[in-house]
Structure 1
Amino acid sequence: MSQRQPRSFDWVLFDADETLFHFDAFAGLKRLFARFEVDFDTAHYEEYQQLNKPLWLAYQDGRISAKTLQEQRFTLWGERLGVAPGELNSGFLQAMADICAPLPQVPELLESLKGRYRLGIITNGFTELQRIRLERTGFAEHFELLVISEEVGLAKPDKAIFDHALDAMGNPARERVLMVGDTLSSDIQGGLNAGLHTCWYNPGAKTNDSGIAPHFEVRCYAELQAFLAS
């Protein structure tokens, strides 16, 4: 585990997608479009991502709403199939909930933190997926706080979504809150913007050439579990 100076924490906040849960969008889209007898392949997926990725950036920058993102990413497929984009989006989120799975070591990590830290989630994901997934995995009982960007009209890395979360947490000392996430540009930059300590979950050992400097970095949750137990 690479780190700066270790600190003591009262709260540990997590991102959701690819931090707590595996998020296989391609598998979810294949499952969705199979209902319409479409053999969704990698070329289709690349086409989808050409729309989806810029929309996510616009959403994180506060330039479009969650509703706009969810509908516009399915505009082309809606036209092809004669189906409302919102209906396709809902079907996709349902498919993702059906195939959801925790990432390795997450159940063990959460169990080890029970009663020792107060836990929360701040996610840019959408309500229709996030809440049902937490219930199905049994993880909901571990978290006192669930902040979903769609519900509050703010998205990471905006400091305001963290301020909203901290208000709901009773405004603990920010230096005693640790934000854990897989995405430097939203999770880590957002945590830094809010004055929190940050931990980059980097299981793929990606090179960080972003200029964003997390306080800590882990390659697996056994490392984080050991660190928080010390």
Structure 2
Amino acid sequence: MKYDWILFDADETLFSFDAFKGLELMFSRHGIAFNEADFIEYEKINRPLWVQYQNGEISAAELQQTRFRPWAKKLNTTEQQLNDDFMNAMADICKPLPGAKSLLDSLKGKAKLGIITNGFTALQRIRLERTGFADYFDLLVISEQVGVAKPDRRIFDYSLEKMGNPDPSRVLMVGDNPQSDILGGINAGFDTCWFNHQNQPQPENITPTYQVATLIELEKILE
């Protein structure tokens, strides 16, 4: 095995993350029929917040609460309560992506495995337990707990320290987001694999070591 450590992003790399379905379920529990138009309005607020979060301009708590502010007023509840309800709904609909379990099975015992995620603590832990994936991983690094998000070099340095400072060239970072996962991994000195399952154009300034459309492809490369 070429790598001592293989690090994964979580959302849309190991697990499906269907925010619309999660919001639909969450709001149905509040007696509201959430629709595509509502989702478009939500994303107008949510997406820029994620960019700010990844750039280190706002905290995880600010992101979680600001995105639900308009709804909290309408429903006469708190932003925090809606965020908690959303995390619970996302956990309830969580599924591993096709090929994820097979890939982890094929790597177990051959390399150490870790997760570095910008997702939030509440959801990550529940999903790992419910999917039975928790036992595969030697490392779980969550940006909310570290205080910086990918692609910030500090979250990768923190991870390396937790891993016992292996040679970065023997670490592979796998993720679906070229900006946070791949650029972050390259800057940390890792090999990278862009899991481009949504067939996006490759950004000009980011060149991953590998690019795959399925996790089965990655399993074959690593064999």
TM-score normalized by the length of structure 2: 0.98
Question: Take 1:18 and 1:37, find their aligned partners in 2: how far apart are those partners?
Answer: 28
Q: 2:118 maps to which residue?
A: 124
Structure 2 residue 82 is matched with structure 1 residue 88: yes
Secondary structure (helix, strand or coil) at the match of 1:22 reads coil
Q: 1:21 maps to which residue?
A: 15
Q: 1:1-230 alignment to 2 at 5 Å?
A: 8-229=2-223
Question: Take 2:66 and 2:197, find their aligned partners in 1: how far apart are those partners?
Answer: 31
Moved over 2 A (4+): none
Question: Take 1:225 and 1:172, find their aligned partners in 2: how far apart are those partners?
Answer: 22
Q: Say how many residue pairs are matched.
A: 223
Secondary structure (helix, strand or coil) at the match of 2:160 reads helix
One-letter code aligned to 2:10: A
Question: Take 1:187 and 1:120, find their aligned partners in 2: how far apart are those partners?
Answer: 13
Question: Take 1:168 and 1:136, find their aligned partners in 2: how far apart are those partners?
Answer: 25
Superposition RMSD in Å: 0.9
Distance apart, 1:210 and its partner CA: 4.1
Distance apart, 1:100 and its partner CA: 0.1
Question: Take 2:78 and 2:127, find their aligned partners in 1: how far apart are those partners?
Answer: 24
Secondary structure (helix, strand or coil) at the match of 1:200 reads strand
Question: Take 1:111 and 1:66, find their aligned partners in 2: how far apart are those partners?
Answer: 32
Cα shift readout 1:171-204 (whole Å, capped 9, x = no counterpart): 0000000000000010001101111110000123
Cα shift readout 1:40-83 (whole Å, capped 9, x = no counterpart): 00000000000000100000000000000000000000011111
Question: Is there any run of 5+ residues in structure 2 with no aligned partner, and where?
Answer: none
Whether the 8 Å CA contact 2:171–2:191 is kept in 1: the answer is yes
Question: Take 1:64 and 1:207, find their aligned partners in 2: how far apart are those partners?
Answer: 28
Question: Take 1:61 and 1:149, find their aligned partners in 2: how far apart are those partners?
Answer: 12
Distance apart, 1:205 and its partner CA: 2.4
One-letter code aligned to 1:176: R
Secondary structure (helix, strand or coil) at the match of 2:7 reads strand
Whether the 8 Å CA contact 2:178–2:203 is kept in 1: the answer is no
Distance apart, 1:226 and its partner CA: 1.1
TM-score normalized by the length of structure 1: 0.95
Question: Take 1:193 and 1:209, find their aligned partners in 2: how far apart are those partners?
Answer: 15
Aligned-pair identity in percent equals 56
